[in-house]
A and B are shown apart, each in its own frame.
Chain A
Amino acid sequence: MLEIKNLHVDLEEEEKTILKGVNLTVEAGKVHAIMGPNGSGKSTLSYVLSGRDGYRVTEGSATLEGVDILAMEPEERAAAGLFLAFQYPVEIPGVGNMTFLRTAMNAQRKARGEDEISAADFLKLVRAKAKTLKIDADMLKRPVNVGFSGGEKKRNEILQMAMLEPKMCILDETDSGLDVDAMKLVSEGVNALRDAGRGFLVITHYQRLLDHIKPDVVHIMSDGRIIKTGGPELALEVEKNGYADILSEVA
């Protein structure tokens, strides 16, 4: 599904290398988790994959189903099936949540040569999906993320994911700012989307999210590289002993 090879990335504005040769393959149907200390490059990886400005790829590649995504515009990557659930979802005053969702959905469909969804079908779909995420009608009507609590913003991200049905989902610290109940709700939303055709890359600091979204593979990232890969037990090891042991073991 997602194949990252020897990816090197610099910051555009300053001479600083963030990713120093990331290798990672996420297969369809699998959930991969990336853990790592602050500043290891986890969020940069998610931004580079989704096409945010400000980064320069100096070496390596990233492909989605064999297609080079690094050459694409952010909207083309989305239409190709890539979805990033933001760590900090952006507030957009003046744009209604529903308008935003429908515009996004139809833009993706159009880019893929599909028919637009009718207003009635869209409404039915969004209401059903919103209900399972406990998103009420008022939240759907309000401007995108404006005045939303931390938990509401993350649930809104998952709603977008559920509506857009991407092939490859990247979750960037979706657990940050969530209380236990919200984490459960968000995880259930993610788990409902797990299927054989879809890949997940879950970026997190903490093991606790992985209690709810059970990963198949866990990677440890440090200083711009994946330094260790293992099964779910690797996350438990981090939880117990911190990153120090793993870092020293690799060094």
Chain B
Amino acid sequence: MMAAPQAKMTANQEYLAGLHLPDGATWATAARGAALDRLRAMGLPERRDEYWKFTRPDTLTQAEAPRAALFDNGDEAEIFGGVERLRIVFVDGVFDAEASDDLTLEGVRIERLAEAGQSDIHWAKDTYGVLEERGQTPVARPLAALNTALATDGVLIHVMGAVSKPINLIYVHKSETSDAILHNLIKLDSGTEVTVLENGPAAARFNKVMEVEVGDNATFHHVRTQGRDHERRAATHIFARLGAESAFKSFTMTANGVMTRNECVIELTGDDAIAHVAGAAMGDGDYHQDDTVFITHDAERCESRQVFKKVLRNGATGVFQGKILVKAGAQKTDGYQISQSLLLDGDSQFLAKPELEIYADDVACSHGSTSGAIDEDALYYLRARGVPKSIATDLLTLAFLAEAVEEIEDEGLREEINSRLEGWLVRRRG
């Protein structure tokens, strides 16, 4: 048989070949170049990739972002509005100085990547793209490499001391065709603590990476919501590395959105560290939401928790891929993972792939995944006490989500999230 002529490039290969780094040489240029090389070597995610078995990557990888209609939130107050915080606003991925607060805050240095990038020397030089690169093995995450290569803005947060209030990144969506890329880098020095809030749909299509280096004894709190826009698409990655006795606590609420892939990659590299990742997802109709989590235990006596709850109706799809990898030597690991869906009708589906891979012999790891409907006995009990069916159903739905929401430590933030979840349900009452 004759050798086949050189195969025609696929659309993805063509797209990758045509990419070029942002103009101008800065401290970030080398990291960006390396990321682009990584990306070209691994290629963009394809439908046949095992890691994308449940989520079609095409609308996230195609050259042009699919159009996304803007969503009117009505008279709903801005989330976290009741929280004293420092606001940093991006509109369709572009920094909005007018709408943002002054970036000066005691105990922390906050800069925009776009501005920091102009200097030759910067603390972020040794950090930018490092955790993303580490997160590329054993599983490739091409969209994150693409982000490191192409992002020209985002925030760099270096926490050095006591910080008086949360830092709130607000992502506004104003253009139906926007294709935004932001790269945030957060470094917590030893013994420090910070809360980062994120909210908003961001753009028609949003590619976001957040790298978080948590120093020894430091604590990172993260609460995120992804807006209420139905047509927006998002591929987000969190890469975190945890030092000894540090803590990383992240919660995400995803209501609506035609395509969301949230990946979270955490390495526990210092002894006695704690990582909690939780999510509450609520989808109605044309909704696809994917939580993909990879937690590596590489130190002793660390604890990790994954708590993901999804409420799905009218044909919505929820995906969970969660892995706990316990390396040899990571003794006394305490790993917990639960993913559950509440299917409010027969059309919706939940696809879950929980995984454990353990190379240490003295560990406690558990995982569970369930799909179910509203508990009929509980519903009858509530109704028999006079609670109308619609309210009883909402009460049971919020109760189902509670285990995830309770992962948020701050009571005010927890209340804020609960009220949004309730609002979502109330708007859908029959």
Residues of A with Cβ closer than 8 Å to B? 50-53, 73-75, 77-79, 84, 86, 89-95, 99-100, 103-105, 107-108, 111, 143, 160, 164
What is the distance, in angstroms, from A218's C-beta to the closest C-beta of chain B? Answer: 26
- Cross-chain contact B380 with A52 (CB below 8 angstroms): yes
For the complex with contacts A89-B381, A100-B382, 9 further pairs of A-B residues with Cβ separation under 8 Å are A50-B384, A51-B384, A78-B384, A90-B380, A94-B400, A95-B396, A100-B395, A103-B391, A111-B386
Instruction: Please report the C-alpha to C-alpha distance between residue A143 and residue B378 in the assembled complex, in whole angstroms.
Output: 12
Instruction: Please report the C-alpha to C-alpha distance between residue A143 and residue B400 in the assembled complex, in whole angstroms.
Output: 12
Instruction: Please report the C-alpha to C-alpha distance between residue A92 and residue B121 in the assembled complex, in whole angstroms.
Output: 57
Cβ-defined partner of A164 (8 Å) among B385, B388, B389, B391: B385
Instruction: Please report the C-alpha to C-alpha distance between residue A50 and residue B386 in the assembled complex, in whole angstroms.
Output: 11
Q: Is the interface of B mostly helix, strand, loop or mixed?
A: helix
What is the distance, in angstroms, from B340's C-beta to the closest C-beta of chain A? Answer: 12
Instruction: Please report the C-alpha to C-alpha distance between residue A160 and residue B401 in the assembled complex, in whole angstroms.
Output: 25
Cβ of B377 under 8 Å from chain A: yes
Cβ of B162 under 8 Å from chain A: no
23 contacts between A and B (CB under 8 A): A52-B384, A73-B383, A73-B388, A73-B389, A78-B383, A78-B384, A86-B381, A86-B384, A90-B380, A90-B381, A91-B378, A92-B375, A93-B399, A94-B398, A94-B399, A94-B401, A99-B395, A100-B385, A103-B387, A104-B382, A107-B386, A111-B386, A111-B388
For chain B, the count of residues having a C-beta within 8 Å of the partner chain is 24
- Cross-chain contact A74 with B380 (CB below 8 angstroms): yes
Cβ of B23 under 8 Å from chain A: no
Instruction: Please report the C-alpha to C-alpha distance between residue A86 and residue B378 in the assembled complex, in whole angstroms.
Output: 12
Q: Top 4 A-B pairs ranked by shortest CB distance?
A: A94-B399, A78-B386, A108-B386, A104-B385
Instruction: Please report the C-alpha to C-alpha distance between residue A50 and residue B376 in the assembled complex, in whole angstroms.
Output: 15
- Cross-chain contact B384 with A103 (CB below 8 angstroms): no
Please indicate the chain A residues that have their CB under 8 angstroms from the CB of B384 in the complex: 50-52, 74-75, 77-78, 84, 86
Cβ-defined partner of A75 (8 Å) among B377, B378, B389: B389
Task: Point out which of A77, A86, A90, A91 has the most chain B C-beta atoms below 10 A from its C-beta.
Answer: A90
Residues of B with Cβ closer than 8 Å to A? 375-378, 380-389, 391-392, 395-396, 398-403
Please indicate the chain A residues that have their CB under 8 angstroms from the CB of B376 in the complex: 53
What is the distance, in angstroms, from B390's C-beta to the closest C-beta of chain A? Answer: 10
Task: Point out which of B377, B384, B400 has the most chain A C-beta atoms below 10 A from its C-beta.
Answer: B384
- Cross-chain contact A79 with B398 (CB below 8 angstroms): no
Instruction: Please report the C-alpha to C-alpha distance between residue A92 and residue B397 in the assembled complex, in whole angstroms.
Output: 11
Please indicate the chain B residues that have their CB under 8 angstroms from the CB of A143 in the complex: 399
Please indicate the chain B residues that have their CB under 8 angstroms from the CB of A99 in the complex: 395
- Cross-chain contact B380 with A92 (CB below 8 angstroms): no
- Cross-chain contact A107 with B391 (CB below 8 angstroms): yes
Instruction: Please report the C-alpha to C-alpha distance between residue A90 and residue B389 in the assembled complex, in whole angstroms.
Output: 16
B377 closest partner in A (C-beta) = A90
Instruction: Please report the C-alpha to C-alpha distance between residue A240 and residue B419 in the assembled complex, in whole angstroms.
Output: 59
Given known pairs A51-B383, A74-B383, A104-B386, the reply for A92 and B396 (CB within 8 Å) is yes
